Amino acid sequence: MQDQLSALLSKATVELPAVKTRPEFEAAKARYVGPHGDLTGCMKQMGAVPKEERPAVGRMINETKAALQAQFDAALARIADAELAAQIGPPIDVTLPSPDVGPGTFHPLTLVREEMCRILRKVGFTVADGPEVETEYYCFDALNTPPDHPARDEKDTFYFPASARFGNIAPRNPGERYLLRTHTSSVQIRTMLGGSPPIRIVSPGRVYRRDTTDATHSANFHQLECLYVDRNVTVRDLKALLDYIFASLLGPETRTRFRPHYFGYTEPSFEVDLSARHLPKVKKEWIEIGGCGIVDPTVFEAVGYDPEIWSGYAFGMGLERLAMLLYGIDDIRYFYQNDLHFLRQFAS
C-alpha cells in the first residue's frame, strides 16, 4: 500500500505541473481522486487492511491525499494565472500616449480669481455675488453718483428698454431703468442692505462698459472688489490689506503705493500702484493696478448705516488686467476666444 501511495504521488508530481488547461486538469484530477482514480482505489482497499495496521495506513492515505491536494491547488493556480495572462495579452508599450482626451483646464481668469479669493479668505473675506443686470439705484444712486455723472450716460453704460422686465431683479424705486452693471460695487450695496456690519466681502464678477474692443478693452470684463465695514477702519488698514494681497500674490518684495484720486463712493480715494520690476513684459517701475478708498459717509447713509459708528474701506481692480500682468498676456481678447493654444498654457 505504501508503495502504491508513493508511486501515485510521484506520478502526480510529474504529471500535474505539465497540465495546461482546465479540462486537462479535471481529467488528471479524476485519474487520482475520481470514482476510478488511483487514490480512490487505495481507499477502497482499506477494508482489506488488517485492523491493527489501519491507523497507520489511514494516516498514510490522508497524508497522500493532502499532498495531492497541494499539487491540485498549485496546478489550478498556475492554470488560472495562465488564463489571466492570456486575457491581458502581451506586455504593452507603456510609452504610447493615452488615447483619452484631456486633461481639462481652468480658464486663467478662474485661476486668478480663485487665487485672489483664497488670499482674501485668509484675512476674513468671503465671496459675495450679485446680479449682472442691475437698476440705477444699486449701480449708481446708492454709490453717490450724481444724476448727471458721465458714467450714467448712455454713451458709456448699457441700458435696457423701458419695456424690459426682469422677474428676479426688483427695482428699488418705481420707474428705475435696468442696466448692465458697470462695476461690482452694486454687490457691496446689496450686501450692506441685506446684512449688518461687520462686513468683509470680496465680490468678483462680470461688468460691462460701452467701449470699443481692442487689446486692452472689452465690452465685458471682470472686476474684483473688496469691502470691509467695521468700527475704526483706517487708511492705514487699507494700505495694509493691499500690501498683504500683492505680497501674497507676487512675492514679499512687492510694494504698493497710493496716489490720491477721486471716486464718488470713497473719500479719501486712491489709485494703487504696484512695484513691477519683477513682472513679465513690464518695463515700468510702477504700474496702476486698481482703485480704493475709505467708504464715503454718503454711501453708508444710503444703506442705513450710521457713518458716525461705522467706517470701512473698498478696493477694486480688473481681473483681466491682473491676469495679463501675472502671465504676461498682451491682448485682452485672448481671454474670450478660448483657443486651446491659449487655455492649455495655464493648466495646473
Task: Name which of residues 166 to 205 contact other proteins (CB under 8 A).
Answer: 166-169, 180, 195, 198-201
Single residue of 31, 65, 78, 261 touching other proteins by CB under 8 A? 261
336 binds other proteins (CB under 8 A): yes
CB atoms < 10 A from the CB of 262, how many?
Answer: 12
128 binds other proteins (CB under 8 A): yes
Min dist. Cβ of residue 230 to other proteins (A): 8
Q: What's the rounded Cα separation, in Å, for the pair 293 and 263? A: 8
Of 31 and 257, which CB lies nearer to other proteins in the complex structure? 257
Single residue of 25, 106, 137, 327 touching other proteins by CB under 8 A? 106
Single residue of 91, 155, 174, 252 touching other proteins by CB under 8 A? 155
Residue 143 burial (C-beta neighbours within 10 Å; 0-12, 13-18, 19+): buried
User: Do residues 19 and 75 touch, judged by C-beta distance below 8 A?
Assistant: yes
Among the listed ranges 1-9, 36-44, 73-81, 334-342, the one in contact with other proteins (CB under 8 A) is 334-342
90 binds other proteins (CB under 8 A): no
45 binds other proteins (CB under 8 A): no
User: Do residues 155 and 182 touch, judged by C-beta distance below 8 A?
Assistant: no
282 binds other proteins (CB under 8 A): no
Single residue of 49, 79, 193, 235 touching other proteins by CB under 8 A? 235
Single residue of 36, 44, 51, 341 touching other proteins by CB under 8 A? 341
User: Do residues 241 and 313 touch, judged by C-beta distance below 8 A?
Assistant: yes
Q: What's the rounded Cα separation, in Å, for the pair 128 and 201? A: 6
137 binds other proteins (CB under 8 A): no
Which residue reads 505680497 in cell numbers?
Answer: 247
Output b/e per residue, 34-53; b: 16+ Cβ within 10 A: eeebbbeebbeeeeeeeeee
Q: Coil, strand or helix: which one is 180?
A: strand
Query: Residue 158: CA atoms inside 13 Å, Cβ hemisphere, count?
Result: 16
User: Do residues 162 and 178 touch, judged by C-beta distance below 8 A?
Assistant: no
Min dist. Cβ of residue 144 to other proteins (A): 12
270 binds other proteins (CB under 8 A): yes
Of 1 and 117, which CB lies nearer to other proteins in the complex structure? 117
- What is the footprint of other proteins within residues 296-325 (CB under 8 A)? 296-297, 311
Q: Crossing angle, helix 54-88 and helix 2-15, to 10 degrees?
A: 0
Size of the site for other proteins (CB under 8 A): 92
Min dist. Cβ of residue 46 to other proteins (A): 41
Among the listed ranges 37-45, 51-59, 82-90, 337-345, the one in contact with other proteins (CB under 8 A) is 337-345
159 binds other proteins (CB under 8 A): yes
Q: What's the rounded Cα separation, in Å, for the pair 275 and 286? A: 5
User: Do residues 202 and 120 touch, judged by C-beta distance below 8 A?
Assistant: yes
339 binds other proteins (CB under 8 A): yes
87 binds other proteins (CB under 8 A): no
Q: What's the rounded Cα separation, in Å, for the pair 288 and 317? A: 10
Among the listed ranges 53-61, 78-86, 127-135, 276-284, the one in contact with other proteins (CB under 8 A) is 127-135
107 binds other proteins (CB under 8 A): yes
